[in-house]
Structures are given as structure tokens and as C-alpha cells.
Amino acid sequence: MSQFEYLIFIGRFEPPHNSHLAILRRALSLAERIVIIVGSDRKPRSIKNPWSTDERMVMIRHCLNDADRARVSIAAVRDHLYNDEQWATGVQKAVAKILRDDSATANARVGIIGHSKDESSYYLRMFPQWKLIDVENIEGRSSTEVRRALFESVRVEEDSIVFDTDAGNLMLIESAVPPAVFAYLKAFRGAPAFAQLAREHYFIKRYRSAYATSPYPPIFVTTDAVVVHSGHILLIRRRSEPGKGLWALPGGFVNQNERLLDACVRELREETKLRLPEPVLRGSINGEKVFDHPERSSRGRTITHAFYFEFPFGELPNVRGTDDAEKARFVPLAEFFEDFEPRMFEDHFHIATYFLGGD
């Protein structure tokens, strides 16, 4: 008899690599069934999250033979960067649904398996109801090295992607991922989405090189404006990297001679041409909060101070995109909550929903 009836395996799988597969094989040897939880559901494509949930699920399934595939269930869970309890609840609900669909008994033997690589693996200990199987990182692979090699297997010249014969990076990828994943990644290099991600990768690489020789990594300070007017939220669409084409909250970096609120109001008016008098804007603030997740920005450690401006009723003021904003618009809140999470820059969806009660 197997040690467990179910083992839970949580990861982002961006992309699945050989160390993931080794853990999965270990799980299959210990349990009758495996539940794979794919994180970062409904995220926009970025250099950290290049592949959709469906794409990652397909890659995982094609790493398994038919017999093992029949023993594996896969579910997706959204991120909640500033609310671990909501994230854990999402995992618990996903697992409970799979067990319920399988007609598992209430006293089914359930465990969780994973590798405690560093502080980021604390989530493995958030589920005391499941016995933890902590395994080694066999082969020592990481998704980060695979993504970096993939983007650097091409060159970016102005607006063109140049596919050199880069045997080194492609060989590194081939050695790190299962054959099915390697085939998918090679095909993905021909997709329009890959070209934009490669441009963003090199943008971030140049950006970080500007402070690479600093004795201490810099900490950037920004502000963001959550403006809600008559049941609509004010958003901008980004004109350039990083996050080109994604929607965002109006905001930007704090100048050396500015206070936080001054910077927020300045950026709000510069990016949207919102023609409300400054005293009216300042008088409409209904909340503020610091958002400081260490990985919230690909540019480096960035702490943002968000201000919530609330106008309960009235005609929507005119706005238009300028500066770094390709477009500005007021989006109905129902549409925002329903459709915009996979289209939002960095953690801006989480920032907005913190004030609006949707995350």
C-alpha cells in the first residue's frame, strides 16, 4: 500500500524542468494520486511569467507517460502577493475539489511534497494538516536559469529579433528540461509574444547594469494612484518596456525634492491629464498604503506608496494618455474585476483590489 493516497505538489513551473520532474517521480512512488497546483494563474506574460496557465499545464502533462498522467490532477491558483491566507485558501479549495470529485474519504492520507530551497519556500509549511515530504533539488535546476538562457538565445537589434545559432544556450536548456518541454520552448521562440519578452529581457538587463557597480543594490521609491470615480477605476496603458501594452495604475518614481503625495499627484496629472483641481484631488484621499513585496518589480527592489482617491458620484472627467501612457481610460469596476487581472502590470491589480476589497 502506498504511503499516501494523495501528495500535493505546488509550483509555478515557468517552465517545468528536470528537478520538477524528479520531484514528481518521487511523489508518484509514494502516493496513489498526485495533485499538482500551478501557481500564478491569470498573470500577464512577463519575463518572470512567460507562459499562460494552460501552456504550463500542457507542458507538465506531456512530461508524463499515459499511466502516470492518469494518476495526476492539475489545478491552478491565483497569486495573492499581500495576503498569504487568501492564497492558502485557494490551494485548500483546489485540493478539496479534486478530492471531492474523486470521492475521496474524509480521512484520506494526504501529504505535500517539495524542496525547501530558501526563504521563498515557506509556503510548504503553511499546511500543517498535510505531512511534509521535503526532498532534495535533484540536478539543481531552476526555472530562472532556463528563462534567462531562452531569452539570451536570441539578440535584439533595434526592433528586430535575431536568431543566431546559439548552441550554448540551447544546449543548456535541452539539458535542463524534459524533451517535450524543450520542443515547446523552441517552438515558442517563433511566437510574437516571445519577441516582446526578449525585448523586455534586454531592457531589464541594461537597466540593471546601470547600477551593477553600486556598493549596495538600490531601493527605488515610487507612488501609484488608485482613482475611483462613479464606479470606475482610472487606468493607463503602458507605452514602453517594462510591461509594454499592459494596463497600470497612474504613477512613477519620486523625484529627489518631492514628498510622496506631491509625486503621486504630479504623476497622476502628467500621465492622464486629469483636470481636477489639486485641492480637490488632495481632499478626496480615502486611504494609503505601502506595497513592498521584494519581487514586485523586475527593475529591482521597488517600494511603492499608493494613494486611494475616491469620488463616489458625478460625471466622469475627461482623461487622455501622455508621457509614458499610451492611453488612459476609466474602466467600469465590474469589467476591471472580471477581465483585467491578466492584463495588469506587475502587482497593480493587487494594489487596486486591496483598496476595493476584491483580492
Tell me what the mean pLDDT of segment 151-173 comes to: 84
Helix (H, G, I), strand (E, B) or coil at 209: helix
Structural element, H or E, at residue 154: none
Structural element, H or E, at residue 152: none
Phi, psi (rounded to 5 degrees) for 27: -60, -40
152 closest CA partner among 137, 170, 177: 170
Tell me what the mean pLDDT of segment 34-48 comes to: 97
Size (the chain), residues: 359
Q: What is the DSSP letter of 124?
A: G
271 closest CA partner among 296, 286, 249, 256: 249
Poorest-pLDDT segment among 16-30, 99-113, 146-160, 292-306: 146-160
pLDDT at 330: 98
pLDDT at 334: 97
pLDDT at 122: 85
CATH class, 4-141 region = alpha beta
254 pLDDT band, cuts 50/70/90, is very high
pLDDT at 115: 87
Poorest-pLDDT segment among 64-73, 115-124, 250-259: 115-124
Alpha-helix runs per DSSP H in 138-259: 143-151, 167-176, 179-188, 192-209
| Cα–Cα distance, 12 to 25 (Å, whole number) | 17
282 pLDDT band, cuts 50/70/90, is very high
Structural element, H or E, at residue 350: helix 348-356
pLDDT at 325: 86
Tell me what the mean pLDDT of segment 159-168 comes to: 76
88 pLDDT band, cuts 50/70/90, is very high
pLDDT at 258: 97
Residue range 172-196, pLDDT digits in tens: 999 999 999 999 999 999 999 999 9
Tell me what the mean pLDDT of segment 157-176 comes to: 83
116 pLDDT band, cuts 50/70/90, is confident
Residue ranges of the domains in the chain? 4-141, 220-356
Q: Residue 76: beta bridge partners?
A: 38
Cell (9 digits) for 28: 508518484
What DSSP string describes 233-295? EEEEEE-SSSSTT-EE-SEEEPPTT--HHHHHHHHHHHHH---S-HHHHHHTEEEEEEE--TT
Q: Is the pLDDT of residue 5 over 80?
A: yes
Cell (9 digits) for 321: 494618455
Residues 6 or more apart whose Cβ sits within 8 Å of residue 306: 223, 224, 225, 226, 249, 251, 288, 289, 290, 291, 351, 354, 355
Given a contact cutoff of 8 angstroms between Cβ atoms, the answer to whether 134 and 114 are in contact is yes
Q: Is the pLDDT of residue 120 over 70?
A: no
Q: Is the pLDDT of residue 338 over 80?
A: yes
Question: C-alpha angle 255/257/258, rounded to 5°?
Answer: 65
Q: How would CATH label the architecture of 220-356? A: Alpha-Beta Complex (3.90)
Q: What is the pTM of this model?
A: 0.93
Tell me what the mean pLDDT of segment 229-255 comes to: 96
Average per-residue pLDDT for the chain? 94
Given a contact cutoff of 8 angstroms between Cβ atoms, the answer to whether 342 and 270 are in contact is no
309 closest CA partner among 292, 286, 327: 286
